[in-house]
Homo-oligomer: A and B are copies of this chain.
Amino acid sequence: MSASEDLLQLLTALGHPVRLRVLAELAEGRVHVSELARRAGVSRPLLYMHLERLEAARLVEGRLELSDDGKAMKYIELLPFDLRLTIDTVLAALRADDQEGPTDVQETPR
């Protein structure tokens, strides 16, 4: 994945009210899926969709664990992130594309 695609994935992952809310709920500590769905006020299947995006952007990580009483629980935890968002950030990401990826995708000529 190119640098700008990376940046885009992060930005679009953060750019949704439910996902912001989910991150906020996770700030205090890890929570299992069903409980997280209740706290965020979202259905569980929908939460799975949002978690997929958050996980793909490496904002969140899930681990399936067996609790003491033998029940399967999937705990989601927040991964640390710190992004400085400036025009230079944007320029750097786009310029990195030209380097790292000499893909043979058709270039748009000047």
Contacts and interface: CB of A to CB of B under 8 A. Distances in A.
Interface of A: 4, 7-8, 11-12, 14-17, 20-21, 23-24, 27, 41, 78, 80-87, 90-91, 93-94, 108
A7 B24 CA distance: 14
A91 B14 contact: no
A41 B105 CA distance: 15
Interface of A is mostly: helix
Given A8-B15, A17-B8, A20-B4, A85 B91 contact: no
A86 B82 CA distance: 5
Given A20-B90, A23-B87, A81-B86, 14 more contacts: A4-B17, A7-B20, A8-B15, A8-B17, A8-B20, A11-B14, A14-B85, A20-B93, A27-B90, A78-B87, A80-B87, A81-B87, A82-B86, A84-B85
Contact of A94 (B24, B85, B90, B93): B24
